[in-house]
Structure 1
Amino acid sequence: MRQIAVTALVCALLPGLAPGQLTPDQKISDFQHLAGLYAKHYAPYEWKRDVSGFDLMEITPWLNKVAATRSDLEFYDVMSAYVASLNDAHDAYSLPSNFNTTLNFSVDVYDGVLLVDSINRTRLPGSEFPFMNGYELVSIDGVAAEKLLETFLRYNIAANDRSTRRFAAALLTVRPQWVMPFAPDVPEISTVVFRRPDGSTESHRIPWTRTGLPLATVGRYAAPLAAGAGDAEGAPDYIEPLNRLQNCQLLDRGVLSFGDNEPIFAASLGANFTLRLGRQSSDGFYSGIFDYGPYKIGFIRIPSFSPNDPAGAVTSFFQEVRYFQGKTDGLIVDVMRNPGGSVSYAGQLLSLLLPSRWSAVGFEIRASSGWVASISSSLESAKAQGAPPLIIAQLQGIKDAIVTANHELRGRTGPVPLIGLTIDQEPLTDPSGAPYAYTKPLMLLTDELSASAADMFAATIQDNSRGTLFGWRTMGAGGSVTSWAAGSYSQGSVSMTESLMTRSREVITPEFPATRYIENVGVRPDIEADYMTRDNLNRGGAAFVDAFLKAMSERIANGK
């Protein structure tokens, strides 16, 4: 009782604060902690400062914004905005909330228009809500959908304008509070207006489905809470730093088929497609063979680079590649809507597609004192525990690169190999010297949601002139990502880019200076083809499938 009385008295003596809100000093402390994490650990700092024009070290304007906040939710919004200003697909500030609310349908950007592309008919039966896929979302509660989209962009940053607009479109109808501080501020029922394909409109009153507990205030604490595991810079198990560096993956962003085994155009594969893998939910890939004119064209979709059983997935991919080598004239690999995953796993799959000597993507690592301590400790632990020589050599190589960068007063290392011990890789061969990898013409399908490890995968295929990239530019999520506790009082967390992918050759694009970096730039296709059209939505991607099969058959005919 005495503690309650003291707390009430303290609250009464702090004018302008609602009961339970963080104090101004606590907010300043947590923002400075967040900014300090970025100053110490964020790898693309110079790239963002020089190319994007955002200097994360200039925190005075942000401290003023923090001081002006009147509630915990306003404070969270400032924290989120600071991270969003980096325009980094990996980096996001998350609130300590599990609240989510949805209208039970989704929209995406097709031909520049917000169109419905999925409906939960269990929640929204057609007899009561007869709108359909392909209808345009016009407004929600009288606010134009396009205006809402512009407002929501900073809550789902994805490294380039097009990817960001698509991710933000998902937030129009699905609003998680861990991303959007004010997500609970929706009515019980919203009035939603749609435009039919014939130009007429229809309106529906659609209820929001809520789950979890809304966060209104984090409360006030007499002393900081214990820091989360992400803040610790002590000695982890020896493999932990490698796993941390190899984590190149985005979390689910609510876009249709993002990370799904089945390709987005599965409905249009046609009668001339014979399915091999994909019938069982346990299948790690979706694969088969097209009979297209005089050719047999193999197809395999890699849904992500984070399978539940990596060793089993590599074995399955190897078996498919060997089968395709003997049974097909060319192979199409699909990494569209792929959120990324493990660098090591992606490297193993690449080794089964690259039959000659090849160059891997390197990683420039943020050369912090924390990394020196972590790698050094892991290296000694690995030696003491009798770790495999490859692991010990990898840890030693990373340590040497970080120590050298520190001695030379550089913020990052040079390009460090995370696939094997060297950037240049020898092909996998059988005892006779014949390659295990697929040797015939290859095509890679990419889009603006091919992210992180999928960015790396596409860059490796292109840099080694192994095959044709078909589709759209990749996202440009070009680094490895780690999560950190981002403030003892507010209890938020942040995902942060700690390395930069570096290609083996320089590229020039209209938007950026000549660079080897993948961050923001992405990987540009050799043949540009846009899946995000109204026609592909309405016909299950039929035009897109026809286009990539035609392009592949031409390459087979030309021996490419």
Structure 2
Amino acid sequence: MSRAVGQPARALPDSVGLAEFLRRVEADPLPLAGRYQLVTAARVLLDELYVHLPLKRAMHATDPVQRLRLLERRLAPLSELQFHAELADVFRALRDLHTVYQLPAPYRGHVATLGFLVERYTDAEGAAHHIVSKIDRSLVHAGFDVGAELESWNGVPIERAVERNAAAQAGSHLDARLARGLESLTLRPLRTAPPPDELEVLLAYRTRGGRRRETRVPWRVCAAERYAGRAQDPVPTLGTSLGIDVGSETARQVKRGLFAPPRARRSPPRSPRGVLAHRTLRLGGRSYGYLRLFSFNVPGARSFAEQVAQIAARAPATGLIVDVRGNPGGHVPAAESALQVLSERPVAPVSFSLSTTRGALTLARAHADFRTWTSSIQAAVETGEVYSQGFPLTDPQALTTGLPRYAGPKVLITDALSYSAADIFAAGFQDNALGPVLGTARRTGAGGANVWTHELLRVWLPELLGDLPRGAGFRVALRRATRARGNVDVPLEDLGVQADALHDLTRRDVTEHNQDLLAAAVALLD
């Protein structure tokens, strides 16, 4: 087989080279006073309000508060990129995608991309393969197209390159880190992570015809609002009932803008057509419903539940496949109300607890919605409890009054990128015995919290939290989620939802619309 070197026909449209973007950044660095503001705010958030701090110190052997104290003493010599990388790494070490540092302008609102996506499958012998699954048409050249198989990345065997990239991700467990390592190989929102180190990547690949070739693909920087429709954050900054990985939601919206069919791209990313899809499958001579929930990042729970109920009412009684792979979460009440319309019986929602710190008590006293938690936080002075009592955020029954319920058999498909409100949905599906959970990974992403922004917390804690420079931000896990029924009080954070059955993705899954995965799901329905 021949070996050839090719170059992209032209650059990704509506983008600038990474080198050009970095020159703009370096021309106007963040002042030293701004660095101090950010480090101080981070220390207050983690020490006073971060609900998972005791868990993370124990499970991941990290002390973020001490790291921030040390960083504060060493700010002056750091370059612009070094500072942002150091602060982001303090949060990355928590292995918590809810609790993140969000970079200021000009990183804010931009995404770095190579213009293609890679998916992984396992063959019958257990060997891993990495296939180009989506690509911008401007980059197709010399057999580098959908179906091309990557062999190396900057001279490193592709499997090892993914592992190395995974080590830099904040997933709670190995499967989650590997899934995010694969996704971020070619797409990185700059709001939640510094830019790539390399300006371009050297790829060795095999074409669909089996020829071995090499190519260089440059990193390009795009304005995220071109795909997400928002100039700032793709997720509301003042929402009180959110559970979401904002970095993955940004990536979802950008992938949708880059690679979805034109008709799908026209729908706003938070509209029903932007967050769900459905169809009827014909497998083995029988019909089944298929509902894909891409995100729970929606404006309201009731309207979302109505959409799900309408789809479920039209689904065949023989069974419904619900798929939350890659779902980064969103509005917790929307997730739990969607769960309720899939159940004939009342579902038990997850419960949420606060930490028992002074900051949490101040917030509970200031905010009417937190009054329920106040007495147990106060009692912690005597009881020594680390967490308050747990109470639900949602009343799924009340949210879905009058809506039809789906009575047929159901199966849920998850992966290691199903996170936060999607973790909550999967936990509710399993805890309320709605049906089996089929995973393409052993566990879901393991994000178990209600997340608040620094901007929202400032409204209620103005004496504790101040302004941040240049639109920088933080998100913090404020209330931890624990499961119900047979798993009562079991936390979702770091543990996730364990699948009842596993399916390793095949080449047919990657290249032929999940044919083997759907067949495996149907087998669990019958």
Q: What is the TM-score when the length of structure 1 is the normalising length?
A: 0.70
The code of the aligned residue for 1:89 comes to L
| Cα contact 2:132–2:147 (8 A) shared by 1 | yes
* 67 and 307 in structure 1: CA distance in 2 versus 1, 3 angstrom threshold: closer
Structure 1 position 480 matched with structure 2 position 450 = yes
Paired position in structure 2 for 1:224? none
Render the CA deviation track for 1:375-401: whole Å, top value 9, x for unaligned.
44443xxxxxxxxxxxxxx65424444
| Cα contact 2:301–2:399 (8 A) shared by 1 | no
Match of 2:102 among 78, 94, 97: 94
Paired position in structure 2 for 1:250? 245
Render the CA deviation track for 1:320-354: whole Å, top value 9, x for unaligned.
33444xx5132222222211111111222222122
Render the CA deviation track for 1:70-101: whole Å, top value 9, x for unaligned.
31211211111111111112222222124543
Paired position in structure 1 for 2:136? 120
The code of the aligned residue for 1:205 comes to R
Paired position in structure 2 for 1:313? 304
Paired position in structure 2 for 1:302? 293
In 2: Cα distance, 1:46 partner to 1:208 partner: 38
Match of 1:76 among 63, 84, 94: 84
Moved more, 312-321 or 334-343: 312-321
Paired position in structure 1 for 2:277? 286
Match of 2:516 among 533, 536, 543: 543
Paired position in structure 2 for 1:527? 501
| Cα contact 2:281–2:289 (8 A) shared by 1 | yes
| Cα contact 2:39–2:68 (8 A) shared by 1 | no
* 149 and 493 in structure 1: CA distance in 2 versus 1, 3 angstrom threshold: farther
Render the CA deviation track for 1:237-276: whole Å, top value 9, x for unaligned.
xxx99x42x2011225389868999xx999xxxxxxxxxx
| Cα contact 2:187–2:251 (8 A) shared by 1 | no
Render the CA deviation track for 1:278-307: whole Å, top value 9, x for unaligned.
xx9748642333444575433322222222
The code of the aligned residue for 1:334 comes to D
| Cα contact 1:91–1:494 (8 A) shared by 2 | yes
* 498 and 406 in structure 1: CA distance in 2 versus 1, 3 angstrom threshold: farther
The code of the aligned residue for 1:192 comes to L
SS in 1 for 2:438: strand
Paired position in structure 1 for 2:461? none
In 1: Cα distance, 2:336 partner to 2:192 partner: 32
Paired position in structure 2 for 1:130? 143
Shift of 1:417: 1.2
* 113 and 49 in structure 1: CA distance in 2 versus 1, 3 angstrom threshold: farther
* Two-structure CA RMSD over aligned residues (Å): 4.0
Render the CA deviation track for 1:432-490: whole Å, top value 9, x for unaligned.
xxx94323322112111211111111111211222111123211011111222798468
Give the number of the structure whose alpha-carbon radius of gyration is greater: 1
| Cα contact 1:290–1:298 (8 A) shared by 2 | yes
Shift of 1:209: 3.1
* 139 and 489 in structure 1: CA distance in 2 versus 1, 3 angstrom threshold: same
Q: What is the TM-score when the length of structure 2 is the normalising length?
A: 0.74
In 2: Cα distance, 1:259 partner to 1:449 partner: 16
Shift of 1:49: 1.9
Structure 1 position 33 matched with structure 2 position 7 = no
Map of 1:51-70 to 2, 5 A cutoff? 51-59=59-67, 62-63=70-71, 66=74, 69-70=77-78
| Cα contact 2:348–2:485 (8 A) shared by 1 | no
Paired position in structure 2 for 1:192? 203
In 2: Cα distance, 1:28 partner to 1:474 partner: 36
In 1: Cα distance, 2:69 partner to 2:157 partner: 31
Q: How many percent identity over aligned positions?
A: 24
Shift of 1:515: 7.3
* 352 and 211 in structure 1: CA distance in 2 versus 1, 3 angstrom threshold: closer
Map of 1:12-31 to 2, 5 A cutoff? 27=35, 30-31=38-39
Structure 1 position 328 matched with structure 2 position 334 = no
In 1: Cα distance, 2:284 partner to 2:117 partner: 37
Moved more, 450-459 or 137-146: 137-146
SS in 1 for 2:84: helix
Map of 1:38-437 to 2, 5 A cutoff? 38-59=46-67, 62-63=70-71, 66=74, 69-96=77-104, 97-98=107-108, 99-111=110-122, 112-121=128-137, 123-124=138-139, 126=140, 128-142=141-155, 145=158, 148-153=161-166, 156-183=169-196, 186-187=198-199, 190-196=201-207, 200-211=211-222, 243-244=239-240, 246-253=241-248, 282=273, 285-293=276-284, 295-308=286-299, 310-324=301-315, 327-379=316-368, 395-405=370-380, 408-420=383-395, 436-437=404-405
Shift of 1:318: 2.3
Shift of 1:368: 4.3
The code of the aligned residue for 1:483 comes to T
Unaligned stretches of 5+ in structure 1? 1-17, 214-239, 267-279, 380-393, 508-513, 555-560
* 438 and 406 in structure 1: CA distance in 2 versus 1, 3 angstrom threshold: farther
* 80 and 104 in structure 1: CA distance in 2 versus 1, 3 angstrom threshold: same
SS in 1 for 2:144: coil
Render the CA deviation track for 1:356-412: whole Å, top value 9, x for unaligned.
243221111234444444444443xxxxxxxxxxxxxx6542444444446645342
Paired position in structure 2 for 1:14? none
Unaligned stretches of 5+ in structure 2? 1-25, 123-127, 225-236, 262-270, 456-465
* 21 and 335 in structure 1: CA distance in 2 versus 1, 3 angstrom threshold: closer
Shift of 1:24: 7.2
| Cα contact 1:318–1:352 (8 A) shared by 2 | yes
| Cα contact 1:339–1:451 (8 A) shared by 2 | yes
Shift of 1:62: 4.3
* 101 and 502 in structure 1: CA distance in 2 versus 1, 3 angstrom threshold: closer
Shift of 1:314: 2.0
Which structure has the highest helix share of the two? 2
